[in-house]
Amino acid sequence: MKGKKVWRPYLLILLGLCIVVVLSSLKIASSNASGRRQTATIQSGIPVRSFARAAKVVGVEVQESDVRLTLSNGYHKTITAFVVSSNGVISTTDMIDTDQIVPPGGTLSGSYALPKSALPQDALAVRAVMFEDGTADGDATIIRQVLDRRAGQREQVTRIIPLLQAAVNGPVADLREQWRTIKSQFAALPDEEKGQSFEFNAGLQNVKNLALHKISNLEMVHQERGDEIARRILVHLKETYEERNRKLGMALRRNQ
């Protein structure tokens, strides 16, 4: 009897160790299975290359001829733009003057062409991300292109603001004449500047064309809703361009 009592504590200890080993094995197996599912879900058979270290791929969904790519902002900075390429086509999503900027931990998505081959030049790739403080991460060439385009946009915005201010300060009774004047002034804005990059000039053109479109819409609003509403929208438009100028200035100040 004494021998059985002596062995009983050792048997209990051995039994406890066996239980711990079994539970640990189950936990490891569960973890490995979860990891395999996550990789399969994220990859969806389509590899994604990233030049931006902490732009984490969290979803790749095939939708007919497109791919829906979802990224998580793993940086400690707010993302204001991101660049993705597929089949050699580079797509830039610039959110700097919208409410769609992505804070740390947030997600961002976009749809891109389904890669037509496994060749590197056709791959789905995250090329760069731009941050609110003017810094960036990713392909240096792509980052330079985004900065040049933003510089062109700001150059044109600084020309537009005083034209809008003059219209705001103009006589209320002359709004119809002001639309003709301001459209003529916007149309005369430069489409390019010698010595500047293609991206810089694209930024000039983008802002110019959008400004002409906005004034045409405002002219229609004036016809339908009268002087007071049109003037209120004109003031808001001028303030919007001033805010855009401020944001672009912040994003470019580290690179001037």
- Please indicate, yes or no, if residue 210 is contained in any of the structural domains: yes
Do 124 and 152 fall into the same domain?
no
- Please indicate, yes or no, if residue 177 is contained in any of the structural domains: yes
CATH of the domain at 78: 2.60.40
Do 163 and 235 fall into the same domain?
yes
Rounded distance, CA 206 to CA 197, Å?
14
**Model confidence, pTM:** 0.79
Q: Is the pLDDT of residue 144 over 50?
A: yes
Do 53 and 77 fall into the same domain?
yes
pLDDT of the residue at 229: 92
* Domain final position from 89, 119, 138: 138
pLDDT tens readout for residues 32-80: 333 332 322 344 578 899 999 999 999 999 988 899 999 999 999 999 9
pLDDT tens readout for residues 211-236: 999 999 999 999 999 888 999 999 99
Residue 194 lies in domain: 144-255
Do 128 and 77 fall into the same domain?
yes
Q: Is the pLDDT of residue 27 over 80?
A: no
Q: Measure CA 78 to chain center.
A: 10
Rounded distance, CA 97 to CA 64, Å?
32
* Domain final position from 138, 165, 186: 138
DSSP 75: S
Mean pLDDT, range 103-109, rounded to an integer: 96
Mean pLDDT, range 148-168, rounded to an integer: 96
* Domain final position from 105, 138, 171: 138
- Please indicate, yes or no, if residue 28 is contained in any of the structural domains: no
Do 128 and 155 fall into the same domain?
no
Averaged pLDDT score across all residues of the chain:
84
